[in-house]
Amino acid sequence: MADRYLRFTGTAPGRFLTRRLGLPQPAALTRWSPERPALDGGLLHLTAGRSALGPAPVLARTGIGPAGSGRAAAVVLDATGVRDVEALAEVHAALHPVVRSVAPSGRVVVLGAPLDPADHHQAAAQQALEGFTRSLGKEIGRGRTVNLVRLTDAGAAESTLRFLLSPKSAYVSGQVIEVGAPQETAPPDADRPLTGRTALVTGAARGIGEAVAETLARDGARVVVLDVPQAGQDARRVAERLGGTALLLDMTSADAGARIAEALPDGLDLLIHNAGITRDRRLVNMPSERWISVLEVNLASVLRTTDALLKDGTLKRGGRIVATASIAGLAGNAGQTNYGASKAGVVGLVRSLAPRALEEHGVTVNAVAPGFIETKMTAAVPLFIREAGRRMNSLAQGGLPVDVAETTAWLAHPASGAVNGQVVRVCGQSLLGA
């Protein structure tokens, strides 16, 4: 369903009226397209304190050139050397003069360092960057985003910076992303980085899953579109359009992992857990079958199939697991105790499995946590609840399925091996729980 309010605020009368009434003023977001693959404008690189990274040539490979005399499309502030409260003044001094001049739909990325457990002054100063970043994201407006990347090696952050400094991250703001040691090298074809890789996307016959499958195929992956037999016609349609294959099975079946392995004798590189259901009702009115069905589809099946595909080696070394959590699992949502529990469980899975999967299998494990995304499901939500969902984030609008898909594609990228155990919220920086 079209966001008529967003369209209205883009007109002269809409801008005048919303300003006078103090109403939200969402800006149309710049998203990736073949015609517009990069942000319009240059990159401004600033430093607060003495950088812990040294020269950062990786910024030259983000696809954005240096900012000239015009508005910057993006600002990167290197605050890795901020180690005490006094140095935080340099964060203010660096960004205060330029933040207003960042172009609409522009990007601000703060580079921070991991918290030092042996230096509580450094840890306090670096943790302060998180509060700073989230607060700036909530006030900067005009479709701009602000994110914090904690890292020790600039080279390991190339795919992350490319994503955050591009139109592909339009609905990702207020996030803190930790980047570890380099694990992979950049693919030979930057435009189709997933060439030669096989991706399995569950629940891919429609909605967000279809968008994920489409985006991975755009990036070169051979896509296997998995969905329940009842969605067979749609699954085959999507697979045919993307040059992939359809795999029809119920993920809750005990032998789902074995059947996936049988269907993929050459193995699997990308396992995308997207399938999910809702059976909303307040706990006092929720029968056990509603509870059980949601936990079984959204969590138990994810655990079982992941275990099976790792154990039998179907998921290859260098592979990626990306699971779909939800803002409801992080902040809670009335009427969704079952759904919230299942999606919080996905977060627990990611945080526990990620270090072991990387060490034992060479596979990274991450999650995306969507907020209000414009789908057929959210279009059926009552008007006032739908409008509240759209406006209660820093960008004052709902996201699109492609926003979740682009975030998934970044986590699936061959050069994203240093990103592990992360839960990235694709919610426009929800004002609650984010």
Domain residue limits, the chain = 31-178, 198-426
pLDDT at 61 (0 to 100) = 64
Which of 163, 339, 372, 410 is catalytic? The answer is 339
Residue 287: how many CB atoms within 10 A of its CB?
Answer: 9
Q: How far is Cα 401 from Cα 318, in angstroms, rounded to an integer?
A: 26
State the Cα angle at 400 between 407 and 102, rounded to 5°: 70
- Confidence label for 377 from pLDDT (cuts 50, 70 and 90): confident
pLDDT-derived band at 433, boundaries 50, 70, 90: low
pLDDT number for residue 220: 98
CATH number of 31-178: 3.40.50.720
pLDDT of residue 182: 80
- pLDDT, residue 363, reads 97
User: Per-residue pLDDT for 219 more than 80?
Assistant: yes
Separation in Å, CA 184 to CA 65, 155, 188, 321, 417: 25, 10, 12, 15, 6
Return the CATH architecture of domain 198-426.
Answer: 3-Layer(aba) Sandwich (3.40)
Say what the pTM is.
Answer: 0.96
Task: Spell 351-368 as b/e; 16+ CB within 10 A means b.
Answer: eebbeebbeebebbbbbb
Which pLDDT score, from 0 to 100, does residue 242 have? 98
> pLDDT: is 30 or 190 the higher one?
30
Q: What's the whole-number mean pLDDT along residues 93-99?
A: 96
User: What was the pLDDT predicted at 426?
Assistant: 98
If DSSP codes are grouped into helix, strand and coil, which group holds residue 148? strand
Q: What is the rounded average pLDDT of the residues 302-314? A: 98
Q: Which residues pair with 177 in a beta bridge?
A: 149
Q: What is the DSSP string of 58-119?
A: GGGGSS-PBP-SS-EEEEEEE-TT--SHHHHHHHHHHHTTTGGGSPTT-EEEEEE----TT-
Mean pLDDT of the chain, nearest integer: 93
**Is the pLDDT confidence value at 185 over 80?**
no
Do 356 and 367 contact (CB within 8 A), yes or no? no
Question: Which of 366, 6, 31 lies closest to 183 in space, CA to CA?
Answer: 366
| Band of pLDDT at residue 2, cut at 50, 70 and 90 | confident
% pLDDT > 90, the chain? 80
384 pLDDT exceeds 90? no
Instruction: Phi first, then psi: give them for residue 210, nearest 5 degrees.
Output: -65, -40
Work out the average pLDDT over 188-210. 96
What pLDDT score does 380 carry? 73
- pLDDT tens column, 34-88: 999 999 889 999 999 889 886 555 666 676 777 766 689 999 999 999 999 999 9
Active site residue 339: yes
Give the model's pLDDT for residue 188: 82
